[in-house]
């Protein structure tokens, strides 16, 4: 009586993640190399206000580059400048401005939106591009450490909604990711440092040798030496890409094993009204879940101190006042909802090896928070 | 100097498309069979007002069914009734209501939204589900011929925006499609007929034997005989699914070869302010592009008359006043933009075989429209 037809297909996704310098100099063909060949393509640039302020000649460089390669692409309108940071994800008017531009300028599925900025701008522009015409091609140009080594190389986009981080979004691959190291030079120290937290995260749960490398280079990184920074970014980006490609790129399951330290980080960012930046919050989240792993008896006090040592040498704080009280625990419940009912949290079995758990003890979380608070106070007194 | 990491992965997508009757009777396990096993899952129902009016006991049947299978799933809130037809896609408040419900009722990525209705409601709910939490599981229960044999079994969702059809949307697979033939019984004659246009479409471009079958059954179909209707739906759905699975499911290229007759149909719907329903517009679009194919010398006048014959026997009109003037031609340009610059239109090389072209002659389109208008007038006078 019943008939069942089974639909089944696979879709292949590919994109290059390039690391370069001076992306829009005439000698650099990375940008035009990722555009569709054999036609003149329409492009629309959306630029993080932080970037356009730090690089006042950026737009004129892009226009000169477009003129130089005028047989390959053109700008269909003046670049759109959008506020950088979480504010562009918090205010739906900003993403809507990008959607409106696609309508106004006839930007279609074979045109390219080029997003230049930090992770928040890339997320927001990516969401607008993903839903307009069911998906306009996106080139991401991440300009911060955090977006170059982590968020910018992945498959997610989003805006915040209902006061919840990343509430609306999709999984959509970019056409290409073009990481230009020159953009890092003008970052303030906080942003320079913040992205390194993601490298520490993957190192701690996946790769002891990378953790040891970070231990060795932490001081040079904190002094803004460029060569270890580049090495860190490329290695971290590769690990992040391998993770995405390896298993469940669009997260149909409930496991998100690269999210070490992130349940607390998301909530802390929100509680501090984004005074604490994502990478800073991740560093604290890593410290917290490392403490928790230690209190469970999984990593030794010596190992925990090594983790604290890297975090401190990089210049991060171990504690923020928003960790106290019940608000953070509430974040754990929200994270559970976001994951789909079944909680999955990454903890440390040992340095370089994460392990998933499906519950966390609230009393133990409070003890871990207390340990961090003491550690932070002690450090300040020295 | 430059480093390029190449990201590459494949994602597998599967979903069953079931054909059944009396979906929410206790003996029917199709619904619970498609839910995740081994846990009690949260569901949220969104129902087309046309369906809830035609089946006043539907909600109580669903609730009884949920009680009967209370170890498998529960309703997290009262079902949401939304307006049926294009109005639900035209007014962004409607999709936003679904998004708000996901927030209010804690509907997460492992919960299920169940959309019961015609193609417009499925599109709109699908869009809300696809972007909330980056994708909530969706079960589609198409209730019209059109949605059961075509739109409901595919991978697209959307809402209309800026006065443009399907401007915002994504490609997202459902968890399952459950086609219940009982819903067809209360359709008015126009909706019963409208969906058959999609079968005529695929038959004409892909399968002469299916066209001949439709010629033979057109009269029975127009008399609302259920057995040929079921056969038509299953065959058409299968062809549609094969097309999606066969090549470019997410339409990264510019080819959409199943869109025979659709460029004019989309514009006609819009010009008539949706007085002309999608299937009715598709029938006219098929007639128009068949005429155009004939005027190009590709199909004979006899074959064109066979196409007209099926369209008429099914009860469709061949012409609507909105076809006159320049508005329709404008629709061709909009379709080109939607496709991404390069126009791709399916025409008939012969009955049962479509062929793609990349330009259409506007003078010839006007001649085809005139031919349709005369044909329609002649038919009325007989």
Residue of A nearest to B102 (CA): A167
What is the distance in angstroms between the Cα of A319 and the nearest Cα belonging to chain B? 29
Q: In Å, what is the CA distance from A131 to each residue of A4, B130, B160, B172? A: 31, 10, 12, 11
Interface with A, mutate which of B2, B3, B7, B98 (most A CBs under 10 A)? B7
Each as own residue / partner, the long-range contacts of residues B87-94 (CB below 8 Å, 24 or more positions apart, any chain) are B87/B120, B87/B274, B88/B48, B88/B120, B88/B121, B88/B124, B89/B120, B89/B123, B89/B124, B89/B158, B89/B159, B89/B160, B89/B165, B89/B166, B90/B159, B90/B160, B92/B159, B92/B161, B94/B124
In 3-state terms, what secondary structure has residue B36? coil
Q: Is the pLDDT of residue B1 over 80?
A: no
pLDDT at A334: 78
Q: B180: which chain A residues are within 8 Å (Cβ-Cβ)?
A: none
Task: Compute the nearest-CA separation of B41 from chain A (Å).
Answer: 9
Which of A134, A151, A229, A358 is the best residue to mutate to test the B interface, defined by the most B CB atoms within 10 Å of its own CB?
A: A134
Is pLDDT above 90 for B257? no
- Domain range list for chain B: 17-186, 192-381
Hey, are the CB atoms on A108 and B12 less than 8 Å from each other? no
Asked if B13 and A14 come within 8 Å (Cβ–Cβ), the reply is: no
Question: What pLDDT is stored for residue B342 in this prediction?
Answer: 77
Q: What whole-number distance in Å separates Cα of residue B311 and Cα of residue B290?
A: 12
Lowest mean pLDDT among A104-108, A363-367, B163-167, B193-197: B163-167
Give dist(CA B337, CA B134) in Å, integer. Answer: 27
pLDDT bracket for residue B259 (50, 70, 90): confident
Q: Residue B197 CA to chain centroid, in angstroms?
A: 11
Closest partner CB to A133 (pick from B11, B17, B338): B338
HSE, CB side, 13 Å, CA atoms: give it for residue B60: 4
Pairing of strands B164-171, B156-161: antiparallel
H-helix or E-strand spanning residue A41: strand A41-48
C-alpha B119, offset from chain centre: 5
Instruction: Give A-chain residues touching B341 at CB under 8 angstroms.
Output: 39, 42, 108, 110-111
* A104: closest CA of chain B, how far (Å): 10
- Taking residues B67-77, report their average pLDDT: 98
CA–CA distance from B31 to each of A1, A246, B78 (Å)? 15, 32, 18
Q: Which residues of A touch B101 (CB under 8 A)?
A: none
Q: Does B17-186 carry CATH code 3.30.9.10?
A: no
Residue A67 C-alpha, separation from nearest chain B C-alpha, in angstroms: 21
- Residue B108: its chain A contacts at CB < 8 A? 337-341
pLDDT at A128: 98
Chain A, chain B: beta-carbon pairs less than 8 Å apart: 198
Q: Taking residues A95-124, what's their average pLDDT?
A: 96
- How many angstroms separate the first and last alpha carbons of chain A? 78
- Which residue, among B74, B134, B166, B330, would best test binding to A if mutated, counting the most A CBs under 10 Å from its CB? B134
Burial B39-67, CB ≥16 within 10 A → b, else e: eebbbbbbbbbbbbebbeebbeebeebbe
Instruction: Count CB atoms within 10 A of the CB of residue B6.
Output: 11
pLDDT tens-digit profile of B314-331? 999 999 999 987 888 888
Tell me the pLDDT tens digit for each residue of A187-196.
999 999 999 9
| Pure H helices in chain A | 30-33, 49-54, 58-68, 87-90, 92-104, 119-131, 145-149, 189-194, 196-206, 208-222, 226-246, 262-271, 278-295, 301-313, 327-339, 362-381
Q: Pick from B135, B153, B245: which is nearest to A9 by CB? A: B245
Predicted confidence (pLDDT) per residue in A247-289, tens digit = 889 988 765 667 899 999 989 988 998 899 989 999 999 999 9
Give the nearest chain A residue to B230 (CA atoms).
A3
Q: How far apart are CA B341 and CA B350, in angstroms?
A: 27
Q: Is the pLDDT reported for residue A213 higher than 90?
A: yes
ipTM confidence score: 0.92
CA R_g for chain A:
21
- Look up residue A122 and give its two tokens: 């890339």
B262 CB-contact burial (10 Å; exposed 0-12 / middle 13-18 / buried 19+)? buried
Does the distance separating the beta carbons of A8 and B18 come in below 8 Å?
no
Express each pLDDT in B267-297 by its tens digit.
998 899 889 998 999 999 999 999 999 999 9
Nearest to A96 by CA among B128, B250, B126, B92: B92
Given this model, what pLDDT does residue A380 score? 67
Token code pair at residue B36: 């995740």
The string of pLDDT tens digits covering residues A305-323 is: 999 999 999 999 999 999 9
Sign of CA pseudo-dihedral A260, A266, A271, A274: positive
* Secondary element (H or E) of residue B143: none
Per the DSSP assignment, residues forming a β-bridge with A15 are: B7
Give the confidence band of A120 by pLDDT, cuts at 50, 70, 90. very high
Using CB atoms, which residue from A4, A17, A39 is nearest to B16? Answer: A4
Rounded to whole angstroms, how far apart are CA atoms A267 and A264? 5
Count how many Cα atoms sit within 13 Å of the Cα of residue B150 in the half-sphere of its side chain: 21
Asked if B168's CB is within 8 angstroms of A132's CB, the reply is yes
Lowest-confidence pick of A4-18, A220-234, A273-287, B240-254: B240-254
Give B156's contacts in chain A (Cβ within 8 Å).
134
Which chain B residue lies closest to A101 (C-alpha atoms)? B162
Of chain B, the percentage scoring pLDDT greater than 70 comes to 97
Query: To 5 degrees, how large is the angle CA A18–CA A354–CA A204?
Result: 55
> Closest partner residue to A14 among B4, B6, B15, by Cβ?
B6
- For residue B278, the distance in angstroms to the closest alpha carbon of chain A comes to 19
Per-residue model confidence as pLDDT tens digits over B356-373? 999 999 999 999 999 999
CB contact under 8 A, A9 and B103: no
So what's the pLDDT on residue B274?
86
> What is the residue whose two structure tokens read 């999606």?
B244
- CB contact (8 A) between residue B103 and residue A7: no
- What's the CATH fold of domain B192-381? Dehydroquinate synthase-like, alpha domain (1.20.1090)
**Chain A residue numbers touching B340 (CB-CB < 8 A):** 108-111, 133
Does residue B256 register a pLDDT over 80? Answer: no
Kindly identify which residue of chain B lies nearest to residue A248, measuring between CA atoms: B11
Q: Say if residue A298's pLDDT is above 90.
A: yes
Q: Could you tell me the CA-to-CA distances from A177 to A115, A125, A192, A358, B71 in Å, in that order?
A: 10, 14, 19, 34, 46
Give the tens place of pLDDT for each residue, B103-162: 999 999 989 999 999 999 999 999 999 999 999 999 999 999 999 999 899 999 999 999
pLDDT digits over A1-59, tens only?
689 999 999 999 999 999 999 999 999 999 999 999 999 999 999 999 999 999 999 99
Q: Closest Cα to residue A319, out of A273, A280, A346? A: A280
Q: Give residue A341's pLDDT.
A: 67
**Partners of residue B173 in chain A, C-beta under 8 Å:** 7
Domain A189-239+250-381 CATH assignment equals 1.20.1090.10: yes
* B335 → chain A, closest CA residue: A108
**Torsion angle of alpha carbons A267, A270, A271, A276, nearest 10°?**
100
Yes or no: say if B6 and A16 are a contact pair by the CB < 8 Å rule.
Answer: yes
pLDDT digits (tens, 9 = 90+) for B159-215: 999 988 899 999 999 999 999 999 999 999 999 999 999 999 999 999 999 999 999
Q: Report the SS3 class of residue B55.
A: coil
Task: Provide the sign of the torsion angle of the four alpha carbons A279, A282, A287, A290, taken in this order.
Answer: negative
The whole-number average pLDDT for the span A81-87 is: 94
Query: In angstroms, what separates the C-alpha of A20 from chain B's closest C-alpha?
Result: 5
Which residues of chain B neighbour A11 with C-beta distances below 8 Å?
A: 10-11, 13, 249-250
| Structural element, H or E, at residue B308 | helix B301-314
Output the pLDDT for position B127: 98
- Cα–Cα distance for residue pair B237/B340, rounded to 1 Å: 27
């Amino acid at each position: 009586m019943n008939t069942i037809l089974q639909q089944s297909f696979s879709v292949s996704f590919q994109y290059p993640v390039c690391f370069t310098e001076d992306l829009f100099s005439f000698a650099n063909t990375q940008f035009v190399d990722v555009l569709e060949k054999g036609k003149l393509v329409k492009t629309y640039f959306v630029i993080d206000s932080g970037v356009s302020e730090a690089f006042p000649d950026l737009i004129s460089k892009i226009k000169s580059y477009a003129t130089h390669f005028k047989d390959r692409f053109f700008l269909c309108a003046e670049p759109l400048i959008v506020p950088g940071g979480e504010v562009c994800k918090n205010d739906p008017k900003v993403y809507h401005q990008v959607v409106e531009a696609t309508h106004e300028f006839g930007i279609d599925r074979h045109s390219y939106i080029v997003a230049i900025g930090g992770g928040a701008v890339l997320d927001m522009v990516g969401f607008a591009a993903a839903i307009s015409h069911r998906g306009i091609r996106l080139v991401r140009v991440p300009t911060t450490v955090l977006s170059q080594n982590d968020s910018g190389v992945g498959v997610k986009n989003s805006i915040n909604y209902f006061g919840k981080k990343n509430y609306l979004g999709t999984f959509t691959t970019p056409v290409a990711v073009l990481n230009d190291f020159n953009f890092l030079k003008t970052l303030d120290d906080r942003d320079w440092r913040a992205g390194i937290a993601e490298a520490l995260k993957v190192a701690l749960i996946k790769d002891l040798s990378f953790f040891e490398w970070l231990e060795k280079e932490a001081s040079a990184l904190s002094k803004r030496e460029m060569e270890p920074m580049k090495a860190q970014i490329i290695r971290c980006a590769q690990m992040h890409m391998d993770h995405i490609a390896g298993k469940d790129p669009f997260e149909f399951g409930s496991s998100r094993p690269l999210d070490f330290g992130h349940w607390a980080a998301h909530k802390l960012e929100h509680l501090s009204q984004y005074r604490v930046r994502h990478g800073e919050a991740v560093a604290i989240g890593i410290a917290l879940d490392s403490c928790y792993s230690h209190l469970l008896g999984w990593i030794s006090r010596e190992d925990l101190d090594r983790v604290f040592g890297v975090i401190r040498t990089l210049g991060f704080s171990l504690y923020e006042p928003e960790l106290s009280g019940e608000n953070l625990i509430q974040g754990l419940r929200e994270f559970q909802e976001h994951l789909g009912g079944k909680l999955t949290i990454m903890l440390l079995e040992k340095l370089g090896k994460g392990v998933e758990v499906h519950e966390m003890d609230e009393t133990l979380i409070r003890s871990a928070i207390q340990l961090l608070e003491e550690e932070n106070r002690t450090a300040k007194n020295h």
